[in-house]
């Protein structure tokens, strides 16, 4: 079994779609933990709603390519993800393999570990919440050290949203 960190993001019905994505992930693999949710400004295409971002730590026996094509992409499709030429366009859900164990490799056009870990707070902070002392396979830095180097002022921790594969769709932490 391999421990895999999945980055999650949504800005179309994000509370619903993030929770549904975690529920669907749990039907295909063991979800060990889910980070807190962060509200973040969009990157690239700015004229769109803010995103909700989180990360999930899962355990799977699937190779990375199968995880992507047999689990992540079907979940995205089930939740209405439409891919356009604009990779920063609004989306119902985005599920990306951020870390696949300690492996370093290319999966199609994507590099694992995801380069966005060291570029964007909305990826680094949720990962650091799950495994602050985990070392990035390429840089050797801990995830918490990476997160502290990235500007996170535009992010807002959303304590009113709880993602868990075992909670009902209506579960929320009272404000």
Query: Which one is catalytic: 61, 83, 86, 94?
Result: 94
Query: Which one is catalytic: 66, 81, 116, 171?
Result: 81
The yes-or-no answer on residue 91 being catalytic is: yes
Query: Which one is catalytic: 30, 50, 83, 96?
Result: 96
The yes-or-no answer on residue 81 being catalytic is: yes
Q: Look at phi and psi of residue 116 and say left if phi exceeds 0, alpha if psi is from -120 to 50, else beta.
A: alpha
Tokens of 101: 């164990």
Burial, 97: exposed, middle or buried (Cβ in 10 Å; 0-12, 13-18, 19+)? buried
The yes-or-no answer on residue 70 being catalytic is: no
CA distance 167 to 11: 21
The yes-or-no answer on residue 83 being catalytic is: no
Tokens of 14: 């994000």
Query: Which one is catalytic: 30, 91, 135, 160?
Result: 91
Q: What are the residue numbers of the active site? A: 81, 91, 94, 96
């Amino acid at each position: 079994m391999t421990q895999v960190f999945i980055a999650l993001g949504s800005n179309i019905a994000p509370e619903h779609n993030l929770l549904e994505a975690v529920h669907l992930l749990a039907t295909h693999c063991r979800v060990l933990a889910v980070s807190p949710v962060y509200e973040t400004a969009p990157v690239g295409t700015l004229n769109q709603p803010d995103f909700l971002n989180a990360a999930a730590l899962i355990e799977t026996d699937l190779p990375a390519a199968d995880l992507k094509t047999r689990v992540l992409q079907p979940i995205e499709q089930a939740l209405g993800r439409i891919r356009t030429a604009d990779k920063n366009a609004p989306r119902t859900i985005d599920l990306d393999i951020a870390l696949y164990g300690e492996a370093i490799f290319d999966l199609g056009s994507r590099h694992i570990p995801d380069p966005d870990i060291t570029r964007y707070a909305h990826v680094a902070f949720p990962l650091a919440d799950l495994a602050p002392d985990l070392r990035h396979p390429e840089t050797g830095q801990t995830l918490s050290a990476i997160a502290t180097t990235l500007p996170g002022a535009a992010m807002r921790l959303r304590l009113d949203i709880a993602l868990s594969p075992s909670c009902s769709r209506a579960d929320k932490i009272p404000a």
